[in-house]
Structure 1
Amino acid sequence: MANVARETARGESGLDIQHGTKHFRAGALLWIPPVRWDPGHGRWHAVGRHRGNGRRYVNMVVRADDLEHFRVKGVYSEALVRSLNGYDHDPAAPRTLQNPWTRERAQDWADARNHFREPVFIEGHPYAHPRISVYNPPPAEIQIDGETLHLAHYGTKGAHYSRMPPPVEWTPEP
């Protein structure tokens, strides 16, 4: 399970900061079931209580960047089990999860998501570099394929690097 991030980035270059997402409030608990189908790069299937109706569980596809504080927690609600199972739900066993992970596997998965590394965006490319991430805070310069990239912008969506060096500050001579 995870929480919806307090601040989520939207809009061009992630400059529009919002509280929560369209469907879930900031801090809402979302359960992430084992993958049944791939919703796309950087998106996961999740189950949680909707912003508009806090009583019912809904299944949604959410951006992975909008989630934080991953952990393992037991599921005891029959309604939550039904939502996590989806079409595979067996009414004869209403409190049984279909295809559950072991606690160790789930804990390893959650620990990997909590590792504080930021995605790297390179000027001219709309998506994050698939193989490279940097620690938080990001370094001012990185080397990729023999090319030096300079930190241009650091925001909620990650570190943005440019091939252009930062401008040199002019100081008057005494």
Structure 2
Amino acid sequence: MTDTGPAGEGEGAPDGLLGWCLVANVARETAHGESALDIQHGTKHFRAGALLWLPPVRWDPGWGRWPAVGRHRGNSRRYVRMIVRAEDLENFRVKGVYSEALVRSLNGYDHDPAAPRTLQNPWTRERAQSWADGQNSDREPLFIEGHPYAHPRITVPNPPPEEIQIDGETLHLAHYGTRGARYSRTPPPVEWTPEP
């Protein structure tokens, strides 16, 4: 999905397209805590559903993390630049950049005041769309109890199976939500039913 018009940039936005950017929304549910079973709405800095602009990565912020620009949960008037977990994002797509304030935030330390409408490290529309398509796959990420990040090589179908075998070990479905399937080594409790 590609958006082509200026959306939500407020009054005073420049008329012309300044570039393309990969964007995503903060997930409705984000997993935190031990075994990632503490489900929260949004993140500490961004509310659920917040639009985040994702500039191309020029340095490695850590596995499964992205630099992102968005409007902070506490001050929705200004853009802030932060590192976010990729697993906290959903609905990847391409949007046009129309705001000089957004260009300034996307550029970060590389921003040139002499060229305030120039993205220093721009996405091409095709490259951004390719990344968005790759992130919006139909398979669900798999999380294993005790590991805070998704398994890098394994995904499961939607809906996920109750049990899976990984490296000879049986894992049991512990939680399934919008952010993927979470498996535990401990089998689920057996429901007690009274005998007649």
TM-score range for the pair, normalised by the shorter chain length: 0.7 to 0.9
Partner Cα distance (2:99, 2:38) in 1: 36
Q: Which is worse superposed, 162-171 or 16-25? A: 162-171
- Secondary structure at the aligned position of 2:113 is classed as coil
Aligned partners of 2:110 and 2:120 also within 8 Å = yes
TM-score normalised per structure 1: 0.84
Partner of 1:151: 172
Partner Cα distance (1:173, 1:27) in 2: 48
Match of 1:129 among 151, 156, 164: 151
Q: Report the count of equivalent residues.
A: 173
Matches for 1:79-158 after TM superposition, within 5 Å = 79-123=101-145, 127-145=149-167, 147=168, 149-156=170-177, 157-158=179-180
| Structure 1 position 143, deviation (Å) | 3.9
TM-score normalised per structure 2: 0.75
Which residue type is aligned with residue 155 of structure 2?
S
Partner Cα distance (1:29, 1:118) in 2: 22
The answer to whether the aligner puts 1:76 opposite 2:104 as a matched pair is: no
Aligned partners of 1:118 and 1:158 also within 8 Å = yes
The answer to whether the aligner puts 1:36 opposite 2:42 as a matched pair is: no
The answer to whether the aligner puts 1:58 opposite 2:77 as a matched pair is: no
Aligned partners of 1:9 and 1:17 also within 8 Å = yes
Identify if the C-alpha distance between structure 1 residues 165 and 57 changes in structure 2 by more than 3 Å, giving closer, same or farther.
Answer: closer
- Structure showing greater relative contact order (alpha-carbon pairs closer than 8 Å, 6 or more residues apart): 2
Identify if the C-alpha distance between structure 1 residues 129 and 111 changes in structure 2 by more than 3 Å, giving closer, same or farther.
Answer: same
Aligned partners of 2:164 and 2:170 also within 8 Å = yes
- Secondary structure at the aligned position of 1:72 is classed as strand
- Secondary structure at the aligned position of 2:108 is classed as helix
Partner Cα distance (2:28, 2:192) in 1: 39
Aligned partners of 1:117 and 1:135 also within 8 Å = yes
Q: Which is worse superposed, 45-54 or 116-125? A: 116-125
| Structure 1 position 107, deviation (Å) | 0.3
Match of 1:25 among 22, 27, 47: 47
Query: Where does the alignment leave 5 or more consecutive residues of structure 2 unmatched?
Result: 1-22
